[in-house]
Structure 1
């Protein structure tokens, strides 16, 4: 689904990504982890065409990312940001329907009843149908994050990008949101690429982990292989205990 080869990116002559190479397969839930300032968000912005890398290659579905128009790339990808800059007092339903814009024949054709029905159905499944007519700016952080996820899902993407999607959510909603992403992988065989800070959520849901530090990939592998006390000390300078529960490692930080 995605192939990144020897990617380099600099900003104001400072090298932020150095020789990044990895692949993301169909049906995979890839977690990008690492300390703050390590290059995780910069990498995702390059993968989303928001930044222009200076050298290397990113291929999506066998096509060079630079050969996609923004509209073409929007048709195959969904994106859930950590936070949104939306300031317009739109109805929740109108925000959801934004996802259908790239499929319109022309800008003034309007959304079909089918588009609206799909949005309502998904809102019901995510348990926020009661505020479809509400001003989106009146929502709590957790409610708004579910709307952003629903908007991304409505595009029927082949690849779903998540940038710290659970940062505004309590643990119950965070698990619910990632459960939904896991279900999408199984039902639609899509790929999910997620930046996560919560190590235990990553352990629960990610099929594979990239550890990025100082602009480089330090480790690439399965959670059970990478979540060790020695490795987490190396990556995060974190003192912790790793506890196994149902064959998954969980991290207990030590003061």
Structure 2
């Protein structure tokens, strides 16, 4: 069953389109990574799926319902979004911020202090390893600590779908691992559906069930990490060549930039070698706008 879908999504800024009819389908309990070059439209697609941007064309659907038609509180009870950059200067403690995650579940006369809500706040704070920081004001935290606090607020919403835009941007290696494994635990043990925009391709391969590659505002390829990690894929989508390895069934890629002449030759050879794997990049239709 599809949990979240984007149907022919189109968006742009001014007269320039940046997303051109993207179709994306996320199944219940799946973790999907959206990857692609800078400026390819990844975050714009995610923001349309999060109901933060209204599509110029097409629709984002949650459990068969048009997200744009859902009341804000109803949508917030089912879907949560953690953006790459958060609002700065909020004079709240960590606990006060996390408690805001309960607002979609409150009646107009409730303030979120009821025992059932406080127990969920406690769980979210513990899950993000913030117990010792819960009474500290947000401006006193490091960038990584703040990101964990915002993630705790998102999971305190107890959503069925969690959308993450580069969630590990401000985190050191240890906290990146901690955050991604927390999301993995929620995905595996509680069936949380997760969609994540990621620049780290090896991290995407390690954690995601399926990858959707976006280039020039279109879906260029999609499949499991093992299906996508081919030389043809990296040369066509990212313009790089390198070495591909696999450990315990998880592929990884070490890139090196090629000269244009060598890249053209490598891309042709890689496409021929990958024909049997079934990888076929989507080609833009004649006459369609392709610049981002």
Comparing 162-171 with 46-55, greater Cα deviation is found at: 46-55
Say whether residues 1:154 and 2:156 are aligned partners: yes
> Of residues 74, 89, 92 in structure 2, which corresponds to 1:90?
92
Q: CA, structure 1 residues 109+139, in 2 after alignment: closer, same or farther (shift >3 Å)? A: closer
Contact 1:77 1:157 in 2 (8 A): yes
User: In the aligned structure 1, how far is the partner of 2:112 from the partner of 2:163?
Assistant: 27
Comparing 165-174 with 213-222, greater Cα deviation is found at: 165-174
> Of residues 205, 208, 233 in structure 1, which corresponds to 2:235?
233
Q: Residues 134-188 of structure 1: CA distance to partner in whole angstroms, max 9, x if unpaired?
A: 0111111111111111111111101000000011112221122111111111222
How far does residue 233 in structure 1 lie from its aligned partner after superposition? 1.8
**Pairing 1:31-42 to 2, within 5 Å after superposition:** 31-42=33-44
How far does residue 196 in structure 1 lie from its aligned partner after superposition? 0.2
User: In the aligned structure 1, how far is the partner of 2:118 from the partner of 2:138?
Assistant: 17
SS of residue matched to 1:49: coil
Q: CA, structure 1 residues 109+127, in 2 after alignment: closer, same or farther (shift >3 Å)? A: closer
Counterpart in the other structure of 1:193:
195
Say whether residues 1:102 and 2:104 are aligned partners: yes
TM-score of the pair, normalised by structure 1: 0.95
User: In the aligned structure 1, how far is the partner of 2:195 from the partner of 2:128?
Assistant: 21
Counterpart in the other structure of 2:55:
53
Contact 2:29 2:187 in 1 (8 A): yes
Contact 2:102 2:112 in 1 (8 A): no
> Of residues 11, 22, 25 in structure 1, which corresponds to 2:24?
22
Q: Which portions of structure 1, spanning 4 or more consecutive aligned residues, are displaced by more than 4 angstroms?
A: none
**Pairing 1:179-218 to 2, within 5 Å after superposition:** 179-218=181-220
TM-score of the pair, normalised by structure 2: 0.83
Superposed CA RMSD in Å reads 1.5
Contact 2:9 2:45 in 1 (8 A): no
SS of residue matched to 2:29: coil
Q: Residues 7-65 of structure 1: CA distance to partner in whole angstroms, max 9, x if unpaired?
A: 22222111111111121001100000000100011111111222211221221011111
Say whether residues 1:71 and 2:73 are aligned partners: yes
> Any stretches of 5+ residues in structure 2 without a counterpart?
258-292
The answer to which structure, 1 or 2, has the higher relative contact order (CA under 8 A, 6+ apart) is 1
How far does residue 244 in structure 1 lie from its aligned partner after superposition? 1.1
Q: CA, structure 1 residues 229+107, in 2 after alignment: closer, same or farther (shift >3 Å)? A: farther
How far does residue 108 in structure 1 lie from its aligned partner after superposition? 5.7
SS of residue matched to 2:11: strand
How far does residue 109 in structure 1 lie from its aligned partner after superposition? 3.8
Q: CA, structure 1 residues 22+112, in 2 after alignment: closer, same or farther (shift >3 Å)? A: same
Q: How many residues align?
A: 255
> Any stretches of 5+ residues in structure 1 without a counterpart?
none
Q: Computing the radius of gyration over CA atoms, which structure comes out larger, 1 or 2?
A: 2
How far does residue 216 in structure 1 lie from its aligned partner after superposition? 0.3
User: In the aligned structure 2, how far is the partner of 1:103 from the partner of 1:86?
Assistant: 25
